[in-house]
Structure formats: structure tokens, C-alpha cells
Amino acid sequence: MFIKLTLLCFIKFNTMVNKKNVIILGAGSIGTAIGNSLAQSEDLRISLLSVEEDVVESISKEQINQKYFPNIRLNSRLQATSNELVLQDSNIVLLAIPSVAAVDYLKNINHLLPKDAIIVNLAKGFGCGKRLITDCIKEQHLNPICTLKGPSFAREILSNIPTAFTLASEDDKILDEVETIFKNTNLYIDKSNDLEGVEILSILKNIYAIIIGIVDAHFNSPNLRFMIFTKAFNEMRKIMMVFGGKEETMFKYCGIGDFGLTALNDLSRNRTLGLLIGKGFFTEDISGKVVLEGRIAMNVFLEKLSDQNIDPLEYSLMRELEHVFSGNNDVSGFVNKLLKY
């Protein structure tokens, strides 16, 4: 009897030791949703690391994120903490905080990260010096890096709806290792070695979602919507390839999938901005208060494309959107100009 108990304890201890430690930086909507899905696996230890003490407390005491998902009970295996020392035992670290803070925060906790811990970027936007976040991370950290992007609304993930992501890394071994944490969850993965292309598309899709929103609000025509959608898709492809992305990436979940979700669903913030413009409700007062990825990213891309002397016809839709943000409120004229290209 003693031998059996000892053996059982050993097996249980060995199983706990072999579990992968997955730390999610940020307990906002997407971090909480993905963490809750990963917590379905008994082979993982999932911790949300957050600076929001009220969020940590509500998850720890009630197993509910009252700030982002009130009254939705989370998986009992999902833990939350504000103690950064939890990073010392991490195997995989998911970066799920806003793009404006992502690079600096990761730099500040670099001394706590094991050198072989894999960093997975979920943040969408530019980082240090208007550069891709993954480029900034590679410059500051020796850790393996990959990115995770796809057509995903956090609330649907939390509702256990099947949801797709593209996982990208230049190293196939890293891809295979990270992919294992999504097995037996509601998260489905396709893989890519085009790290830059996946990152670029995650920013571009916000810009072109605004354009689709403007068109839909003013005309509500399926024919016109998908005509402009196709033009936008092709323009995204050209710009992505200018900056080193691969054409095939357009047909991953991070490409046509994420663009379709962001451009055509009213839960999208950037599409909503386009709808406001198309309906004539957009003002400088609103634009000054609502900080959206699409508008910020548009200015960065226009600057970069101009610096490279790229023919403006290659990004004509984006240029016309810039004119709208500069005060041109003639939406009918905006659409007519899009049709010329």
C-alpha cells in the first residue's frame, strides 16, 4: 500500500513538473479569453500577469474578470497575479498588452525571462521608432520570437467558439513547440515562416477596414462593398510585399480572414470609425478622443512608402483615406475616386 501511494505521488509530482508554464502579459479582453481557452488543457499552467490589481483580485477571488467580462465565470485552472517573479519559470510568454506599451514593458521585465522562454506577440501596431513590434523585440531580447494573429473577437473565444489564428516564426521548431499549447482547445492554428508579413497585415487590415466602413455606411451596396473589398485586398498585398512579406500570407487566417472580420463586422472598432465617417458623424472632436490603430498606422505607412519612392498609385486607397482625415468630407467623391483606381 505504501509503495502504491508513493508511486502515485511520484507520478502526480512528475506530471506537475513537466507542465508547461504559459504566462500571458495582460489580463484584458484578448489575454483573458485566450488564457481561458488554454486553461482547458491539463498539461499547461496558465497565469495572467497584470498591473491591474482589481482585475487580479476579481479573478483570484471570484474566478471572474469583472472589468472586461463581468458575470462570466472563468476556468478554475486560470490564475492571475501581479507578481512579475512568475516569469522566472516561464516557458512561453504571450504578449497581450496594447502596442504602445508592449515593447517598453517587455524590456523592463527582460531580466526575469529565462533565455529559452518563447515570446509570442499578440499586440497589433508599431513599436519603437515606428517599427514592427517583433523587430523591436528581436533587437532587445535574445529569446525565440513568434507572432499570433487572426480573425478573433475575444468574447467569442470566451464563449468557446472555434477561432483561428496564424502562428508565425522564422524557426519551424519554435512553431511546432508553441502549436502544442493550442491542442484540444477551441483555438485552431495555421503556421507561417513569414513573420514580417503576418505583423504587417495585422496593422494594414485596420486601415482598410475604415475604408470599407465608409463605403458601407454611405451606400450599403453588396456589389460596391465587395468591389472595394477586392481593391483593398490587392492594395494590402502590394504594400505587404513592398515591406518584405510573402504573397501566400494573404491567404492565411491572418490575411483574408482577419481583414474580412475587421472590415465587415460591426464589432470592429475601425469599421465603426468608417461607419461614423460615412454617416457624417465624424468630427475633429471625435477623432481627437478616439485613438484607433488604423488612423495612427496609416500615417506611418504613408511616411514609409513616401521615403521609399513607391508609386502613389500602388496605395491610392490609403491616400484617399488620408484626404478624408484631413477634412475632405465629400464621401460620394471619396468613393468615386476609389473606383478610378
Q: What is the DSSP string of 109-155?
A: TGGGS-TTPEEEE---SB-GGG-BHHHHHHHH--S-EEEEE-S--HH
Q: What is the pLDDT of residue 47?
A: 98
Element spanning 93, H or E: strand 92-95
Strands (E) in 122-249, as ranges, are 145-149, 163-168, 187-192
**One-letter identity of residue 255:** G
Element spanning 236, H or E: helix 222-242
* Owner of C-alpha cell 477634412: 327
Domains (range + CATH), the chain: 2-193 (3.40.50.720), 197-340 (1.10.1040.10)
Instruction: State how beta strands 145-149 and 163-168 pair.
Output: antiparallel
Q: Who contacts 226 (Cβ-Cβ below 8 Å, separation ≥6)?
A: none
- Least Cα distance to 212 among 268, 256, 271 occurs for 271
Cα Dmax for the chain: 84
Q: Would you say 138 and 144 are in contact if contact means Cβ atoms under 8 Å apart?
A: no
Q: Who contacts 35 (Cβ-Cβ below 8 Å, separation ≥6)?
A: 22, 24, 27, 46, 47, 48, 78
281: three-class secondary structure by DSSP: coil
Burial class of 193 by CB neighbour count within 10 A (0 to 12, 13 to 18, 19+):
middle
202-225 exposure pattern, b = at least 16 Cβ within 10 A, e = fewer: bbbbbbbbbbbbbbbbbbeeeebb
Query: How many other CB atoms are found less than 10 A from the CB of residue 56?
Result: 20
Q: Would you say 194 and 220 are in contact if contact means Cβ atoms under 8 Å apart?
A: no
13: three-class secondary structure by DSSP: helix
Positive/negative CA dihedral, 99, 101, 107, 109: negative
C-alpha 255/C-alpha 270 separation (Å) is: 16
Q: What is the pLDDT of residue 128?
A: 86
Beta bridge partners of 119: 93, 145
Q: What is the pLDDT along the chain (341 residues), one digit of tens a residue?
A: 444 444 444 334 444 457 899 999 999 999 999 999 999 999 999 999 999 999 999 999 999 999 999 989 999 999 999 999 999 999 999 999 999 899 999 999 999 999 999 999 999 999 887 899 999 999 999 999 999 999 999 999 999 999 999 999 999 999 999 999 999 999 999 999 999 999 999 999 999 999 999 999 989 899 999 999 999 999 999 999 999 999 999 999 999 999 999 999 999 999 998 998 888 886 665 555 454 667 788 999 999 999 999 999 999 999 999 998 887 767 778 989 999 88
C-alpha 113/C-alpha 127 separation (Å) is: 20
* Owner of C-alpha cell 513592398: 242
Q: What is the pLDDT of residue 285?
A: 59
Q: What is the pLDDT of residue 18?
A: 74
Which residues are designated catalytic? 205
Query: How many other CB atoms are found less than 10 A from the CB of residue 333?
Result: 13
* Owner of C-alpha cell 472632436: 285
C-alpha 103/C-alpha 239 separation (Å) is: 24
